[in-house]
Structure 1
Amino acid sequence: MRHRPLRDGPWGNLPSEPGRFIGRGAELAELGRLLESSRLVTVTGVGGVGKSRLVLAAAWSAAEAARGARGARGTLAGRAARERYGDGVFLAEAAAVRDPALLELTVSEALGLTDHTTRTPRTVLAEHLAGRRLLLVLDGFEQVVDESAALVRELLRRCPGLRVLAAGRRPLALDGELVLPLAPPVPEEALALLAARAGAADPGFAVTAANREALAEVCARLDGIPLALELAAARLRTLSPAQLLARLEDRFALLTGGARGALPRHRTLRTAIGWSHELCTPAQRLLWARLSVFAGRFDLDAAEYVCAGPDLPVEDVLDLVGELQEQSLLVREETADGVRLRMLETVRVYGAGWLESLGDARRLRRRHRDWYLGLATSCELDWFSPRQQEVAALVETELANLRLALECCLDEPDEVHLGQYLAGTLWFYWAGCGRLTEGRHWLDRALEPTGRAVTEYESSRLKALWVLGYVAALQGDAAASLGALYECRDAAAQSGNPLASAYAVHRLGCLALVSDDMGRARELLGSALEQYRAVGELNSNVLMCQVELGMALAFQGELAGALTLCREVREICEERGERWTKAYALYVLAYAALDAGDAQEARRLLDECVAINHAFDDLVGLVLALELLALVTVAEGDPAEAALLQGAAEPMWAGVGLQLFGSGYFNAPRLMCRERAGELLGAERYEAYAAEGRELSREALVGRARRSPGERGRAARVSRQAGRGGGPAVVGVRRAGWAREREDPPPPGGDGGSTSQ
C-alpha cells in the first residue's frame, strides 16, 4: 500500500498522523538530538517493544517542524529542520521483504520513483537523492540486514543531504551509526498504555484504587513490553485485573523456560504471545497458524480460501477473524483497495512456527500461491474493462503477497512454469504501472535455465518470453528484447501457437517503432494485427498494436490512416472502459490536431492523456504527452510556459529507456519546442524558465500542465516582454519538419539539450 501523503504538499509518504502517543517523551527527545548529530540513527530492541511507533512519531515530528507547523515556523528549530529535511520525510517498510533483491525497489517505491531503464535501483536511488535533503525511515530490516547495511552505506556516501532513521532488532553496524536501544516503558508509562488499550477495548474500563496494584503487577510481569500489554489488555473485557494477573502468573510459571540463551525480554514476549495462544480456542489457533503464510496485508476472501478446510469450515473464518482482532492478534487497516488485515510481524512469526510444527506449511504456501495465481489471472482480464484503475490499486495493495507467490513458484523446480505464467500474466502491471524494473527481475528469474525440458509448459514460457521482450524494449535494452522475442516467435512457430507468435511479432514491431525503423515497424505491426484478428484476440495489447501502427503512419506523414486507426481505438476503449491504451491513442490524435493547426483540440486531447498516464504512473506516456503539450503551448503563444514545461519534462527522460530516448521521431517535439521557444525568449530567458520547471515535483508539473491558457494568464505578457506578436508560434508540425523521413536520426541523447544518461 502507498500511504497517503502529508497534508501540505510533497513532504513525504508518512501514513496518517498517529493517534495519542503514550509516554516515550524522553526517548523521543533523545532521538531528535541523535538525528541532529548523526546522519544515521538506529533504534533497536526486542520485537513488540515499540520501535516502529517511536520512529514514526519521530518522523512526524521532523516533518511537522520542517513544514513549519505547530508554531515552529521562523523558530531556530523550524529553520534547522527545514534545512535538514527540506525535501521531505519518507517511510520505507521492509518487514515484508523476503527477496533481498527487492529491498532497493521497496525504498524506491517509498520515494515514489519510477524508472524505465536498465539502471539498477540503487543507481536510480543514489542519483535521485544526491542533491536532496530528506529523512529516510527504514523500518523492519531484520530479514535483509546485510543488504540494508550495504544500501544505507552507499546512499549516505553518495548523498550528503540524506539522513536515515532505522528501526530493527539489531544495529546496521556502520561507521558513524548512533544506536538508541529501546527499553520497555517505565512503570507509569506501561500502566498508562495498558489502561489506554483496555479502555479502547472496553469503554467502561478505568484504573481505580482497587485495581491499580494488580494492573501494575501485570505490567511488571510483562516487562512493560507494549505488544505484550496490548495482548493482555484485550483480556480485560472478560477478566478482572486480579483474574488476569492470577492467570498470567500461572502461565508464566509454566512457560518462562523459553529458548536457552534467549534474552529475558525475548522470553517474556514469547511467553506473553504463547499465553495468548493458549487462551485461544483450537479453531482460533489453527487460523492464526494458517494466516502466517501471508506477507503483509490480505483480505477476508483470501483468508477464507487459503485457510479453510475440513477442520476449519469456510463459514467460520469471518467470526474467527473478528475474534483474533478482538485479541489484538490481527490489525485492521484501510488501503486504496478497501479493508485489509495484517499480523504484527512478531505474532506472524509465532504462528509460522506452529504451522511448521503441524507439518502443514508447504500445503498452505501452495494454497496461498494458488489464490494469487487466480488473482493475477482475474486482474489481467479486468485490465481490459472499466475496472482498470481498480486493478492497478489492487495489485499495488497485494504486491507483497504476489511476490511471495512468485518466490513459491520459482523455488520449486517442478513449478517454475507457474512462476513463468505469473510473471507473464502481470505484464499489465509491469508495463502499465511503472514497474518495469521489478517485472524484469521476475521475468529474468523465471526464464533462468533449469536444465529441465520446457516443452510440457511451452505456453507459459512463451508468455514470459514475449513479456520479457516487451519490458526490455521499454527499458531500451534492444539486445535482450530481440533475443527473447526471436526465441518466442521461433518456438511459437514450432509448437503451433499462433497467439504467442502474434505477441512476439507485435513486440518486434514495437521495438522497431522506438528504434525509428518505421518501414519495418509498419510491416510487423500490420502483420501482428492480422494474426490477432485471425485468432479472435481483443484486449489492451491488441489495441496498443493498432495505436503503434497509427504512430508509424503519423510519423511518416500518413495522417489520414493514423486518424482512422486511433479513432477506432478510442471508440473501443470508451465502450470497454479501457483508459491506459486510450491515452496513447489520444497522443496520436493530438499530434494530428496540432499538425492541422488546431492547438485548442490538441490541448483538450493531451489534457486527458496526461491525466491518465499520471494516474497509472506510466512514465513513457507521460513524458511524451508533456513534451507534445509544451509544443502546443508554444503554438498558443506562450513560450515561457512552454519552456517551463519542457524543463520539467527533461529530468524525466533519465528514467526512459535508451532506445526511446534516442528516437528522432519521439523526441522531435522536444527539439522543436526548444528551438522555437528559444527563438521567442532568447537563450538566457528560455533557460531561466526551464530551470524553474526542473524544480517542480511530478504532481506539481501535472497540475501545471493541465491548466488552460486562460487560467495561466501569462501568454500576452510574456509575448510583449519578448517583443514578439502574440499569435500562434507553430502551425502544422508536419510542415515544420517533424514527420519527414530522417535519413540520419540523431544519436541517443539528442542534441545536448536533453538530460544525459
Structure 2
Amino acid sequence: MGSTSAAPGGRGPLPAEVTSFVGRAAELDALAALVGRARLVTVTGPGGVGKSRLALRAAARLAGGFPDGAHLAEVGPVRDPLLLGHAVLEALRLTDHTARPPLDVLVEQLADREALLVLDGCEHLVDACAELVDALLRAAPGLRVLATSRQSLRAAGEHLLPLAPLAVEPAAGRGEAEAVLLFADRAAAVLPGFRLEGRVRDGVALLCRRLDGIPLAVELAAGRLRALSVEQVAARLEDRFRLLTGGDRTAPARHQTLRTAIGWSHELCTMQERSLWARLAVFAGGFDLDAAEYVCAGNGLDADDVLELVDSLVDKSVLERLDGEGPARFRMLDTLREYGAGWLRTGDDEPRLRRRHRDWYLGVAAWGEVEWFGPRQPETAERTRLAHPNLRAALEFSLAEPGEEQQALVLAGTLWYFWVGTGHLGEGRHWLDRALALAPEPTDARAKALWVTGYLATLQGDLDRARPVLEECRRQALETGDDRALAYAVHRQGCAALIGDEPARAAELFEEALWHYDALGELNSNVLMAMFELALAHLFQGDEANGRAWMERVRETCEEHGEQWAYGYCLYAMAFARRQAGDLGRARALARESMRLNHLFRDLLGIVLAMDLLALLATEGPRADLFEARVLQGAAHRLWRAVGTPFFGSRSFNGPHLECERRARAGLTEEEHAAAFRLGSRLALDAAVRRALEGGPSPRERETPPRSGDRGGVPLAGQRE
C-alpha cells in the first residue's frame, strides 16, 4: 500500500514497489493465468483489500510477454468521465495536439500494438471505463486490459477475479496466517526489532481477525506501533475509524484512512444503495434475500427493490455472495458493516430495523422448532446454524431494549432444540439465565424458559440449578393452569431424577409426563425423548422387558415420522440393552449408528455416550482390544469436558466407563494404559468419531505407544485435519 514512482523508459511505466509484497501467491497465479487467456480481466473487491497491489504485481510478472509493455492508468483521480481518455493517453505516453476525441486517438495509436493496459480504480467511472475498454479491445487485437474496480465493468468478454481479504487463520502446515505476516512485515518497518512472539503474536492474530484481514486496515494498524503497543491498538479497535488514520502521505488520498477508503465506496452508491447498506448493518454474519427483504423494507425502500439493490451492492463489493448449496446467501465484512451502522445511527430508523430483524429470526427459530420433529431435522439444524450469529444479535437486542424481555424469553426458549440438539448447552443457559433475571413475572414465556433451563442444566450435570428452576416451573404451571408447561416440567424433573441415580422415581415422573403429553395430543421430539428416558430408567433397574418395549415404541414412531435425533438416542439405549443380553455384535452396530446420527447433528452428548459404550464393548468378545478401548475413553474424556460434568455425575451412566477402565488397567502395562488415553484425548472431534466408526490403532501405535507430547499419528485436538 506504499507510494509508487514511475519507472523510467523500458517497456512501460509500471510503478516500482517500495514495500514488500506479502502473501497472495495463489491469487497472483490465478490472475496471471486469467490474463493469459482473457483479454479483459477485472479484479473486484472492497476498498483496501489490495486489488491495485495484486494487479500491479501481476502486470509486472506478465510485462515481458508484451512487446509494447505494460502500462498503468490511474483512473481514481479522474472525476470527469470526459477526461478519462486523456488520462489513458498520458499513461501510455501518447501525445496528440489535434482536436480529435481522445478515444479516436487511442484507437488509432493502439490498433497494431501488443500491450497490457492496467486501469486502476474504475468504480466511480464504471460506465465510461466500460465504453472505453470495449472500443479499444475491438480496435486493437493485441491489447489486453487488467482493471481494478469495486464493481464489475460489465463489458463484453469481461472475466472477474473477486479478491477476498487476507487469511486470518493459518493454512495447514504453512505457519502464520497471511494477514499476520503482513502486519509483522509492516510493523518491523516502523518498530525495529519487532518479533512475532508470545503474547505479541496472540495480540497480532486477534487484531488481524478483528480487522477482517483487510490489508489496508492491517497496514494502518501496524503503523500505529510508532506510538502504541499491540495490546493498546487492540484495545482501541472499538473506534477503529478514529484510530486508523495517518497512512502514508504519498499514497492516494482515498487510502489515507480506513474511513476514507470505505467512504469512497459509499460515495459511489445511489441514495437507495446507501440506505440498504446502512439497514443491512443490523445483520450479523450471513443472511439470505428473504431476510433482507423483510427486515430492510419500509420508510422509502420497497421490498421489491431489495433484490436489485443487493445485486448492485454485490457488484460494488459492499456485499459478498457466499458459496454453498441452497438459497443464495450474502454477508458484509465487519468493517463495512460498522461503517453502515454508523450511518444507521445518524437517523431514527435503527430501533424499527433491529426489531424487525429480531422478529424475523424469532420466526426462524419458531419454524425450526416445528420442523425439528420430522424428516427435515438435518436441514433445520443447518439452517439454524447458519442463522446463529443473527439469532445472537436478536437475543442481544431483546435483552438490551426495554420492554422486549418477554420476547427474549420466547426466543431463548424456542431455541431449545438448537441448544440441546446441536451441542450449545452452555450458550443456551447464558441467554436463558439473562432473560429469566430480567423478566420475573409468571408468564407462559417464562414457564417455557424455566423448563428449558432445567433441561440444559440437567444435561450438564448441574442438578443444583436444575431442580429449583424445574420446581418453579411446575409450581407456576399449577397456579396458572398451564398444562403444557406442567407436562414439560414433570418430564424434566424425571431427567434430573434419572441422572441423580433415582431410576424408580424417574420412571414414575416419565410416566406422569407421558400421560400429560397424551392428554394434550403432544407428539414431538421431546415426547420421544421421554419414552427413551423411560426405557433407560427400566434398564438401569434391570427391567429389560419394559425397557425394550418402550424402545420399540420410540423406534416405530421415529420411523413413521422420519425423526432422526431422538432415534439416535434410542439406538444408544438399544445398544445398551443388547450388550446386557450378550449380543455384542449387534450392540456395536447399534452404538456406531447412534454415534453417526448424533455426529450428523454435532450433538456432543449423544456422541460421547455412544463412544463410552463402544469403549466398553472393545474390551469384550474374542476380538477384544484393550488399547483401543482406552483410546476411545481418552477421546470421550475430552468430549465430556466440552459437555459438562462427566456422566452427569451419575453412577448409573458412569458404570460402563468404570468397568472399561478396570479391564484396560488389568490388561495393559501402565505405560500403554496412559499412552492410549493420551492418544485419544488429543483426537479432534471428527477424527475421534471416524476412529470409533472405522477401526482401531495402526500397527505403529501398537508397537510404539506415544510418549507424552507425541501426536501419535493423529491430529491434535482442535487442529484442522
TM-score strictly above 0.5: yes
Q: Deviations over 1:406-454 (max 9, x none)?
A: 122122332211110000000111111111111111001101145xx72
- Of 513, 516, 533, which aligns to 1:548? 533
SS in 2 for 1:385: coil
Give yes or no for the alignment of 1:405 onto 2:394.
yes
Distance 1:26 1:142, change over 3 A: closer
- Of 20, 35, 40, which aligns to 1:26? 20
The amino acid of 1:582's aligned partner reads Y
Distance 1:136 1:677, change over 3 A: farther
- Of 617, 638, 649, which aligns to 2:625? 638
Q: TM-score, normalised by structure 1?
A: 0.62
Structure 1 residue 620, shift from structure 2 partner: 1.9
Distance 1:627 1:274, change over 3 A: closer
With a CA cutoff of 8 Å and minimum separation of 6, indicate the structure with the bigger relative contact order: 1
Contact 2:569 2:606 in 1 (8 A): yes
Contact 1:336 1:397 in 2 (8 A): no
Distance 1:268 1:563, change over 3 A: same
Alignment of 1:57-206 (within 5 A): 57=166, 63-64=171-172, 66=173, 81=175, 139-141=208-210, 173=229
- Of 691, 696, 701, which aligns to 2:678? 691
Structure 1 residue 57, shift from structure 2 partner: 4.3
Match of 1:534 in 2: 519
- In the alignment, structure 2 segments of 5+ residues that lack a partner are 1-15, 24-45, 55-162, 181-197, 213-217, 238-242, 704-721
> What is the CA–CA distance in structure 2 between the aligned matches of 1:305 and 1:178, rounded to whole Å?
36
Contact 2:320 2:331 in 1 (8 A): yes
Contact 2:507 2:534 in 1 (8 A): yes
SS in 2 for 1:627: helix
The amino acid of 2:22's aligned partner reads L
- Of 685, 691, 713, which aligns to 1:704? 691
The amino acid of 2:486's aligned partner reads S
Give yes or no for the alignment of 1:471 onto 2:456.
yes
Distance 1:325 1:89, change over 3 A: closer
Contact 1:436 1:471 in 2 (8 A): yes
Contact 1:379 1:391 in 2 (8 A): yes
The amino acid of 1:643's aligned partner reads R
SS in 2 for 1:700: helix
Distance 1:599 1:184, change over 3 A: farther
Structure 1 residue 50, shift from structure 2 partner: 4.3
Structure 1 residue 267, shift from structure 2 partner: 5.8
The amino acid of 1:523's aligned partner reads E
- Of 641, 644, 655, which aligns to 2:642? 655
SS in 2 for 1:393: helix
Structure 1 residue 690, shift from structure 2 partner: 2.9
> What is the CA–CA distance in structure 1 between the aligned matches of 2:686 and 2:523, rounded to whole Å?
33
Match of 2:282 in 1: 293
SS in 2 for 1:557: coil
> What is the CA–CA distance in structure 2 between the aligned matches of 1:55 and 1:295, rounded to whole Å?
18
> What is the CA–CA distance in structure 1 between the aligned matches of 2:281 and 2:233, rounded to whole Å?
33
SS in 1 for 2:268: helix
Give yes or no for the alignment of 1:365 onto 2:354.
yes
Q: Deviations over 1:345-393 (max 9, x none)?
A: 3433343344344422111111111111111100111111222112222
The amino acid of 1:272's aligned partner reads W
Distance 1:303 1:713, change over 3 A: closer
> What is the CA–CA distance in structure 2 between the aligned matches of 1:510 and 1:690, rounded to whole Å?
30
- Of 553, 556, 567, which aligns to 1:582? 567
> What is the CA–CA distance in structure 2 between the aligned matches of 1:491 and 1:651, rounded to whole Å?
38
Structure 1 residue 699, shift from structure 2 partner: 1.8
Alignment of 1:166-315 (within 5 A): 173=229, 221-223=252-254, 225=255, 265-266=257-258, 268-269=260-261, 271-277=263-269, 280=270, 282-309=271-298, 311-315=300-304
> What is the CA–CA distance in structure 1 between the aligned matches of 2:233 and 2:301, rounded to whole Å?
48
SS in 2 for 1:417: helix
Give yes or no for the alignment of 1:378 onto 2:370.
no
Contact 1:509 1:524 in 2 (8 A): yes
Contact 1:440 1:471 in 2 (8 A): yes
SS in 1 for 2:323: strand
Structure 1 residue 335, shift from structure 2 partner: 4.7
The amino acid of 2:542's aligned partner reads G
Match of 2:320 in 1: 331
- Of 508, 528, 553, which aligns to 1:523? 508
> What is the CA–CA distance in structure 2 between the aligned matches of 1:484 and 1:174, rounded to whole Å?
45
Match of 1:729 in 2: none
The amino acid of 2:652's aligned partner reads Y
Structure 1 residue 323, shift from structure 2 partner: 1.6
Match of 2:714 in 1: none
Distance 1:167 1:548, change over 3 A: farther
Match of 1:230 in 2: none
Distance 1:441 1:586, change over 3 A: same
Match of 1:492 in 2: 477
> What is the CA–CA distance in structure 1 between the aligned matches of 2:275 and 2:232, rounded to whole Å?
46
Structure 1 residue 479, shift from structure 2 partner: 1.7
> What is the CA–CA distance in structure 2 between the aligned matches of 1:439 and 1:90, rounded to whole Å?
33
Q: Deviations over 1:459-491 (max 9, x none)?
A: 111111111111111222212111211111000
The amino acid of 2:360's aligned partner reads W
Structure 1 residue 529, shift from structure 2 partner: 1.0
Distance 1:135 1:336, change over 3 A: farther
Distance 1:26 1:184, change over 3 A: farther
- Of 344, 366, 388, which aligns to 1:355? 344
> What is the CA–CA distance in structure 1 between the aligned matches of 2:179 and 2:645, rounded to whole Å?
29
Distance 1:687 1:357, change over 3 A: closer
> What is the CA–CA distance in structure 2 between the aligned matches of 1:285 and 1:702, rounded to whole Å?
48
Structure 1 residue 504, shift from structure 2 partner: 0.7
Q: Deviations over 1:189-209 (max 9, x none)?
A: xxxxxxxxxxxxxxxxxxxxx
Structure 1 residue 169, shift from structure 2 partner: 10
Q: Deviations over 1:244-298 (max 9, x none)?
A: xxxxxxxxxxxxxxxxxxxx52563364144223xx1x43333223222212211
The amino acid of 1:289's aligned partner reads A
Structure 1 residue 688, shift from structure 2 partner: 3.4
Match of 1:245 in 2: none
Distance 1:182 1:174, change over 3 A: closer
Match of 1:505 in 2: 490
Distance 1:186 1:698, change over 3 A: same
The amino acid of 2:453's aligned partner reads L
Give yes or no for the alignment of 1:669 onto 2:669.
no
Distance 1:541 1:135, change over 3 A: farther
Structure 1 residue 343, shift from structure 2 partner: 2.0
- In the alignment, structure 1 segments of 5+ residues that lack a partner are 1-21, 30-46, 68-80, 92-128, 144-163, 188-218, 226-263, 720-757
% identity of equivalent residues: 44
Match of 1:40 in 2: none
SS in 2 for 1:666: helix
